[in-house]
Amino acid sequence: KAELMDQLTVLLGGRAAEEVVFGDQTTGAAEDLKQATEIAKRMVVEYGMSEELGPLSLGKERTNIFLGEEIVKSDEHSEELTASIDREIRRFVMEAYARAKDLVSRYRTALDRLAQELLKRETLDKEDVDRILSDLIPQPVG
């Protein structure tokens, strides 16, 4: 579960950075939002990771020929269960988004430095990043 929450946080990082840095949101994160929502949905519906619903695999999977290989859940859930599923999906996404915003805020200095350097040079390799952030990253002792 922790690894999937980390994936959600990474996917929502761009959107979080837009909000923290510019105070606004663009359409640039649309695909990331779609992927994050799909992961959260699978966490709840397939992997049984919902605290509210417990360790259940909900719904019968089938492939809809009109949607290619996309997995579609059958309409066998009650309105109450569907609302619970939606709440849990939203909770996972919102927790990861809050974490992403917190990380962007805490590491804003590093983000700004890297952004300025990228405006100058367009690409950075690991050595460039290490050099730019050297005074912000604790060095190993010994």
Percent of the chain with pLDDT strictly greater than 70: 83
- Each residue of 7-41: pLDDT tens digit? 999 999 999 999 999 999 889 899 999 999 999 99
Domain(s) of CATH 1.20.58.760: residues in the chain: 2-106
Is residue 139 over pLDDT 50? yes
3-state secondary structure the chain: CHHHHHHHHHHCHHHHHHHHHHCCCCHHHHHHHHHHHHHHHHHHHCCCCECCCECCCCCCEEECHHHCCCEEECCCCCHHHHHHHHHHHHHHHHHHHHHHHHHHHHCHHHHHHHHHHHHHHCCCCHHHHHHHCCCCCCCCCC
**Average pLDDT of the chain to the nearest whole number:** 85
Min mean pLDDT across 55-59, 67-71, 79-83, 131-135 is at 67-71
Confidence grade of residue 72 (pLDDT, cut at 50, 70, 90): very low
Which CATH entry fits the domain spanning 2-106: 1.10.8.50, 1.25.40.10, 1.20.58.760, 1.10.10.10?
1.20.58.760
